[in-house]
Amino acid sequence: MSNSTEEQILEIENMYWTEMNDALSRLEENKDFQKLILDGYFKDFAANQTSMLAMDYTRKTQTRPEIFERLVAISNLQDYFITIKNMVPPTEYAEDE
């Protein structure tokens, strides 16, 4: 593969991640997103599910695997958002330093 082709692929990939990061940034500024996802899902729902793990009822009904899967789903979404932020190419300002 030529340098030109590699540069074009890198440019397309950088543009993709930059657009994804911009979209995520806009979402994170949205009050509804903050309430539903950042606070409701990542914090409140996760804390609720975690506290359910210690309940005797959960142990007796053998529902821990379901709860763990819910916690894994939360973790996967958080990881996806972190991946988007980490994949953004450095800005020209950062390259100048």
Give the number of domains in the chain: 1
Does the pLDDT of residue 96 top 90, yes or no? no
- Residue listed under structure tokens 């979404």: 77
Average pLDDT over residues 19-26: 97
Residue 63 is which amino acid?
T
74 and 46 Cβ atoms separated by less than 8 Å: yes
Q: In this predicted model, what pLDDT tens digit does every residue of 25-71 receive, in sequence order?
A: 999 999 999 999 999 999 999 999 999 999 999 999 999 999 999 99
Domain residues for the domain of 40 are 3-96
Pairwise pLDDT comparison (90 vs 10), residue with the higher score: 10
| DSSP letter, residue 89 | P
SS3 90: coil
CA 87 vs. chain centroid, Å, equals: 12
User: pTM to 2 decimals?
Assistant: 0.82
Burial class (CB in 10 A: 0-12, 13-18, 19+), 44: exposed
More confident residue, 44 or 4: 44
